[in-house]
Structure 1
Amino acid sequence: MHIIKHMWNVYAGLTILLLILTLLPKIQNSHWIFRVPEFGKIQITFFTLITFGLGFLVSPSPLLWYFQGLLILMFIHHGIILIKYTPLYPVKRSGKGRNSSRDIHFISANVYQFNTEYKRFIQLIEKCKPEIFLTMESNGDWEKALRVLEQDYPFHHKVTLENTYGMHFYSKIRIKDAKTHYFVADDIPTIEAHLETEDGFSFVFFGIHPPPPSPTEEETSKERDGDLLSTAKRVQEIKEPTIVVGDFNNVAWSRSSILFRKTSELIDPRIGRAFVSTFHAKYKLLRFPIDLMFHSEDIFIRKLTTMENFGSDHLPVYCEFFIDHQNTEQEEQIEEATAEEEAEAEEMIEEGKKEDGNRDAVVTED
């Protein structure tokens, strides 16, 4: 009898906790308490199903079917959002046409500044031979280690910082122009690189890594959201094929990610494909899809996946794509921001600029 009562307490406690974690992100407050539960939507959905199953093992109670009904509603709510990021969601895929570019491959990796297994990452690049790759959290030590690749990657744009927001971009493809933006803070860079392939296709690559809302880093998501939406506005000004890649410290279904997608008028390639969860690399069941990418309608993704762990806390992301200016099939996937959403984006940008980030110029590992 005591065990059955204990099981009821566990079941009721889990149901209430899952309800709180479901409702918190609905409150549009930038404090990390409201934003962090968005990251765990996959895990919350999984535990909602387990808790529903547990309900059949506890002793009947007048509240049981109310709780079970609540769990079903929560499961449906999360499922409707998450199914978009699985192959079950129908999205038209396009093959290569006669006017397409050659395939281009890139790797994007948050290397973790304090990870000293440089060789493992270098071996990954040497094995996959992508035309371009981006590193985040790369500091002076990482820059030195990556110099061995510069013979194969003669074009680069480096932003070497010791505050875990350094970024390095390497390319076999000619970089026509590259600049570093500091949209909301003078220690949070965004790379903008204009490239031209040998077969005559131009495209723009953005590398981004805004700070996360968390109890150990930024108290709110204001800088993150302001940085993302500033990038989205910059993308809107560009008329060439564009890719935005990096550790967004955000998930694709959050309000600010959706605003980013609509403001930039880019496409999320995870829709109809997969979650592509990257963090934390060491804990498979607690892994969130926070290393995102978005692309314009004339860029077509052939493959998007994670790669093996090289010692970082993030898995690297591998992507294969081509450019086709003639194919208009992806136009229907673009959503545009309404006037209200544009105003909301402007407000988030201003709040991000006002926020005083709590970061040291040089970060040491705890």
Structure 2
Amino acid sequence: MTLTLVFFTAFIVLATLLPLWRNPHWSVRGFDFPRLQIAVVASLVIVFQLVFLDWSSIFSWLLIAATGLCLASQLWRVLPYTLLWRKEVKSAASGDSARVITIMTSNVLTPNRNAGALIALVKQHQPDVLVTLESDQWWEDQLAVLDADMPFSVKCPLDNLYGLHVFSRLPLHEAEKAYLVEDGVPSVHGLVELRSGDKVRIHFVHPAPPSPSENEESSERDAELIIVARSVADDDQPTIVTGDLNDVAWSPTTRLFRKISGLLDPRVGRGMFSTFHAKYPFMRWPLDHLFHSEHFDLKGIRRLPDIGSDHFPLLTSLEYVSDRRSKPETPDADSDERGRAREIARDEGVSKQDVPEPGK
């Protein structure tokens, strides 16, 4: 039993320390994802250590201390995405429907053929904007039934798992597709006009993940997120960035994205809303995100039912607040973090000038 506990302790220590290394290889960055799962394993290991180890041995206490420190480190990352944390975004109170925007984000999984389930959710929840990821020509044909109610659209069907479609009830302005870092990996940028006439800058993104079957390193994903962050940081327009970021909310890259952009995360203090993997509850974390500027309060956020994809859809409703008396505290980057962001973009040969800036 002691050898077994030593093995599990060593694994927990490795899984906790590896993400501190800035190496972008998928085998390192992959440990950014399962922090909650590692925390659960660490908790169980501590229980077994206390039951089976010799309390009179210094080595036993070293094992317990190492596991306890790792548990604290993992929890520190995930606790902001629980009800135990202070909410970062205020709940909306005014009820001004003309200034509300509801966005449904759904990675449909290209081989999935259950388009009817997604269409039913759209009809049920009536989002103002639907964003689909991994949607190919087959999905575009199936979703054509939405065109009558959602006449404003940007369609980019691809069969490489990076197709992207935007359907909107609200008018879209200056909407355009862009390939910010990699050919074949599009994003969509534009303005959406609320019923009040106010315009919101929007960015829909789906960077490629670090994985043995796609990009061996996270460099491309990181660079795309960083240049979008640097672009929106220079703008005081109301802004929303949403999509499948192929990254978790607590990773170094997403935290840097938030600090550089100054955007808020409505999940903080409310829950993780883990959207992936839909089929394996124990291996589940938040990959689909919506971040927004300080101009919004939250009307609601929820994970929707399974549509046959490996992702659950995410539904988020925000209210634009133009006359806020006090601004919420937004994330901010220090000089070292800004330097790190410039380095990430420079290594991929991209810059914030590559990101479309609608409204300018």
State TM-score, norm by structure 1.
Answer: 0.90
Relative distance call for 1:43 and 1:330 in structure 2 (3 A) is farther
1:240 matched to 2:216? The reply is no
Given candidates 28, 32, 38, the residue that maps to 1:34 is 28
Q: Structure 1: which 5+ residue stretches go unaligned?
A: 1-6, 355-366
**1:220 alignment partner in structure 2:** 217
1:48 matched to 2:46? The reply is no
Partners of 1:57 and 1:99 lie apart in 2 by 57
* Deviation (angstroms), 1:99: 7.3
* Deviation (angstroms), 1:91: 2.7
* Deviation (angstroms), 1:86: 1.1
**1:274 alignment partner in structure 2:** 271
**2:347 alignment partner in structure 1:** 351
The amino acid that maps onto 2:71 is: F
**1:204 alignment partner in structure 2:** 201
* Deviation (angstroms), 1:317: 0.5
1:91 matched to 2:87? The reply is yes
1:293 matched to 2:287? The reply is no
**1:17 alignment partner in structure 2:** 11
Contact 1:99 1:324 in 2 (8 A): no
1:249 matched to 2:246? The reply is yes
Contact 2:87 2:266 in 1 (8 A): no
Partners of 1:8 and 1:46 lie apart in 2 by 20
1:325 matched to 2:319? The reply is no
145-154 or 67-76: bigger deviation: 67-76
Partners of 2:202 and 2:82 lie apart in 1 by 26
The amino acid that maps onto 1:15 is: T
The amino acid that maps onto 2:2 is: W
Given candidates 145, 149, 154, the residue that maps to 2:151 is 154
Q: How many residues align?
A: 347
Contact 1:120 1:310 in 2 (8 A): yes
Partners of 1:255 and 1:338 lie apart in 2 by 14
* Deviation (angstroms), 1:306: 0.9
Matched residue of 1:284: which SS? Answer: coil
> Once the two structures are superposed, what CA deviation does each residue of 1:114-142 show, in whole Å capped at 9, x if it has no partner?
11111111111111111111000011111
Partners of 1:149 and 1:352 lie apart in 2 by 38
**1:167 alignment partner in structure 2:** 164
**1:136 alignment partner in structure 2:** 133
The amino acid that maps onto 1:349 is: A
Partners of 2:7 and 2:195 lie apart in 1 by 60
* Deviation (angstroms), 1:179: 1.1
Matched residue of 1:55: which SS? Answer: helix
Contact 1:133 1:170 in 2 (8 A): yes
Partners of 1:34 and 1:319 lie apart in 2 by 31
Q: Could you list the structure 1 runs, at least 4 aligned residues long, displaced by more than 4 angstroms after superposition.
A: 98-101
25-34 or 54-63: bigger deviation: 54-63
Given candidates 166, 169, 174, the residue that maps to 1:177 is 174
Contact 1:225 1:352 in 2 (8 A): no
Partners of 2:125 and 2:91 lie apart in 1 by 24
Contact 2:98 2:195 in 1 (8 A): no
Partners of 2:286 and 2:332 lie apart in 1 by 24
**1:58 alignment partner in structure 2:** 52
Relative distance call for 1:133 and 1:249 in structure 2 (3 A) is same
**1:67 alignment partner in structure 2:** 63
Contact 1:100 1:323 in 2 (8 A): no
Relative distance call for 1:45 and 1:328 in structure 2 (3 A) is farther
Relative distance call for 1:65 and 1:88 in structure 2 (3 A) is same
Q: Structure 2: which 5+ residue stretches go unaligned?
A: 351-360
The amino acid that maps onto 1:132 is: V
Contact 1:244 1:294 in 2 (8 A): yes
Partners of 2:98 and 2:199 lie apart in 1 by 10
Partners of 2:86 and 2:316 lie apart in 1 by 20
Partners of 1:237 and 1:105 lie apart in 2 by 25
1:264 matched to 2:279? The reply is no
> Once the two structures are superposed, what CA deviation does each residue of 1:231-262 show, in whole Å capped at 9, x if it has no partner?
11222243321110011111112111111111
Contact 1:137 1:166 in 2 (8 A): yes
* Deviation (angstroms), 1:215: 2.0
Partners of 1:96 and 1:163 lie apart in 2 by 42
Contact 1:99 1:325 in 2 (8 A): no
Partners of 1:238 and 1:165 lie apart in 2 by 28
Partners of 2:94 and 2:165 lie apart in 1 by 33
Contact 1:190 1:206 in 2 (8 A): yes
* Deviation (angstroms), 1:328: 4.7
1:305 matched to 2:305? The reply is no
Contact 1:242 1:299 in 2 (8 A): no
The amino acid that maps onto 2:35 is: K
The amino acid that maps onto 1:200 is: G
100-109 or 30-39: bigger deviation: 100-109
Matched residue of 2:282: which SS? Answer: helix
The amino acid that maps onto 1:267 is: L
Partners of 1:337 and 1:65 lie apart in 2 by 38
